[in-house]
Chains A and B, each alone.
Chain A
Amino acid sequence: MAEAATIGDGRAAGWKKLRRRLAPWAPLLVLLALCIAIALVNGRFVSLRNFARIADAASIPLVLGLGVTFVILMGSIDLSMEGVVAFAAIILCLLVANGANANDFGLLGALAVLVIGAAMGFANGIVHVGLQIPSFMVTLGMWFVGIGIGNAILGGIQVRVNDPLIRALALEQFLGLKFQVWLALGALAVAWVVQEHTRLGRYIFAIGGGEDLARLSGIRTGLVRIATFTMAGVFYALAGIMAAAQQGSAFALIGGGRLFTAITAVVVGGTALWGGQGGVLNTLIGVLIVVVLANGMVLMGVSPYVQQIVQGLLIIAAVALSVDRMRAKLVK
């Protein structure tokens, strides 16, 4: 009896060790398993053209995911992305050559949109830190503000983008990949540098690991928070530009459904919702898992209802697997 228990404990300990060693690799293994499973069902999955399409489909969620990754690493959340994307896409449309007015500012217009994204993120940060309002509430408000201003400007119509430079992001390619994919990879590189090689990146992890400790060691956490939300806003605005390029037009609901995909991707990639764990490369893997799964389910002819259920289960399973129950003291 006692012997059996010891063996059981030994096994459990071994399993724990294995799990700890495998945990960082779990998202990547899931992605590989997913690819193999889909390829076995439908051979068309494995083709350069399909991989290029997956890269295409992943580029906007990746840019959004990168922005929100930093916020989540601090243990906060940012729900404003759909509002920022809509507002950015609409302003972009109205600044570059378009079907509604005579403007033609080209790249200058795109630059202005990035500044607007930064301003919206800055507003998120300053209200969150200055007024001590939970990030959840502030950014929820900014979500509706963005869509509301978009509505006020457009009055519900859809405006076409005619600027060939902007459209080229979605229509032209370089080395077999659309320009938007290269742009997303560029954003990933920038995000990685910020995370690994800047003070801001280190401070973000410090805050996520324990804000009190970070503050005691002299980090001005308020400033870091404002900077992070501002940076996230720039990423969302960039995604807004890409969305307008892809749809060939802007409309108030152009951000629709993107929040769920982005947050799912971040969490599935292994970044912990309570902060301090994960990073931008995890987000890359997470985005690929979500996009490959969606692509694969259509390839396999899975019914649309089942697709939604699978995506919902995926996010719950990912969180369940990634929770370190030794650390979590309280579940709320």
Chain B
Amino acid sequence: MHDIQTRIRAGYLDRRRFLSGTAMAGAASLVGFGPKSLRAQAKPTVVNSIRSLSNPYHATWNAGGEAFAKWAGAEYVTLVTEGDSEKGVADIKAIIARTGGDMVLNVDPNESPDARPIVEACEAAGVHVVTQWNKPDDLHPWDHDPYYVSHISFSGVPAGKAMAEALFAKMGGSGGIVALGGILSNTPAIERKKGLDEALAANPDVELLDFQTANWDPNKALELTNAWLTRFGDDIKGIWAANDGMGLAALEALRAEGMAGQVPVSGIDGIQLAVEAILAGEFAGTVAWDPFWQGGMGLSIGYHARTGAFDPSKEPREHREFYGTGIVVTEENAQEFYDNNIKASPELDFTDLWGRVAGQIQYG
């Protein structure tokens, strides 16, 4: 690890090596696209492709991308799919054409199958690409050396489990809970629920009264919680939600009944209002994925591969397909997390590429 970082720094400090790196990248792009390669000495454009800017998660992702671009002194472009796979792929092809392939892409594909055409388009144009969250199981970075640099995901299982345990602890270890799930065909939703199930199996004194899918929608979550309050009344001792948005809505339903703070709620994602709710004693916890890191470091990994700081094909597989580390936020560290990540803009060391690798991705 130390060795790589030294090489990266060297790559930056040594102007000749830096230039030769970009020149090579420029030469690669010369194959398909002529004129832009004349700007080979300029920094590659750094591009984030995400679902939308209308949720806090991707908005923070975008802020991380901006921070990296500022750090690297590169032009920054954000593409949004708005949940439309075709738009996502088409916009990426358009930006590849505009930059003549002199770019680095960090993409959260709208759906798993989208990753393949994206990676293929990048490979054809000599664009270094990092994918996150969604890709088909049989698409691997090492099959597309050197342009498909890495795939990053986060396992929802430990997060769902950690939150269930934090919730049970706040309930005193026994009682009934209700659970709000995400869209059930969605990988994070499935994994987070699996984590909940594992925690339930380990805690026989906690009973799952009902599990419903609220499709990540706060409005639906509020409606469901209201109906549960009728159906189960005071038997509900805790509410587990697969993300913060739904958890906060459940909390508002409790507040309307004067039960906020009495029935703990857990979320996942680590958005500001959830952390504030932990500080207020109403939330049991949340898991922060640190989208700022995802938006910034995803670009940094691709950028450093492109500028020659490391050779993707020589990296071990656990650097090519890996789980990142989620930060579990509970009462104990909420204030510290709030001060460092929310009040202040997070400070990232963009050269610490592999500091948060939590193991190679497992399938099945």
Contact = CB atoms under 8 A, between A and B. Distances in A.
A160 B273 contact: yes
B248 A257 contact: no
Contact of A151 (B54, B233, B271, B272): B54
Interface residues of A, number: 40
A53 B228 CA distance: 11
A254 interface: yes
B20 interface: no
B227 A295 contact: yes
Interface string A236-257: 0000000100111101111011
Interface string B230-260: 1101000000000001001100100110000
Given A44-B230, A160-B273, A258 B219 contact: yes
Contact of A156 (B54, B213, B233, B252): B54
A53 B257 CA distance: 10
Given A53-B226, A257-B220, A252 B272 contact: no
A156 B219 contact: no
B55 A171 contact: no
Contact of A56 (B226, B248, B255, B272): B226
A121 B286 CA distance: 40
A258 B248 CA distance: 19
Interface string A113-151: 000000000000000000000000000000000010011
Contacts of A218: none
Interface stretch (A4-12, A73-81, A297-305, A323-331): A297-305
A254 B249 CA distance: 11
Nearest to A257: B219
A10 to B, nearest CB: 47
Contacts of B59: 155-157
A251 B218 contact: yes
Nearest to A302: B212
Contacts of B229: 53
Contact of A249 (B53, B54, B248): B248
A299 to B, nearest CB: 5
Contacts, number: 105
Interface in A223-243: 243
B222 A253 contact: no
Contacts of B56: 156-158, 251
Interface in B130-158: none
B349 interface: no
A49 B256 CA distance: 12
B224 interface: yes
Contacts of B57: 156
Given A157-B59, A158-B56, A253-B54, A299 B231 contact: yes
Given A147-B54, A150-B54, A155-B53, A246 B222 contact: yes
Contacts of A56: 226, 256
Interface in B23-77: 52-60, 62
A101 interface: no
Contacts of B273: 99, 158, 160, 249
Nearest to B59: A156
Interface string A279-307: 00000000000000011001101001000
A314 interface: no
Interface in A48-65: 49-50, 53, 56-57
Interface in A29-85: 42, 44-45, 47, 49-50, 53, 56-57
Given A155-B59, A294-B227, A298-B228, A171 B219 contact: no
A247 B252 contact: yes
Contact of B55 (A178, A253, A257): A253
Interface string A148-182: 00110011111010000000001100000010000
A154 to B, nearest CB: 8
B54 A158 contact: no
Contacts of A248: 248, 252, 255
Contact of B256 (A50, A158, A178, A298): A178
B223 A151 contact: no
Contacts of B217: 253, 256-257
B227 to A, nearest CB: 4
A247 B230 contact: no
Contacts of A295: 226-227, 230
Contacts of A147: 54
Contacts of A247: 218-219, 222, 248-249, 252
Contacts of A251: 54-56, 218, 245
Given A251-B218, A256-B217, A298-B212, 14 more contacts: A53-B229, A53-B230, A151-B53, A157-B56, A157-B59, A157-B272, A158-B271, A158-B273, A160-B276, A170-B252, A178-B256, A246-B256, A247-B218, A247-B249
User: What 4 pairs across the A-B complex have the smallest Cβ distances?
Assistant: A156-B59, A298-B227, A252-B54, A50-B230
15 contacts: A56-B256, A156-B52, A156-B55, A156-B57, A156-B59, A156-B62, A171-B255, A246-B256, A257-B217, A257-B219, A257-B220, A295-B226, A298-B227, A299-B227, A304-B213
Interface of A: 42, 44-45, 47, 49-50, 53, 56-57, 99, 147, 150-151, 154-158, 160, 170-171, 178, 243, 246-249, 251-254, 256-258, 294-295, 298-299, 301, 304
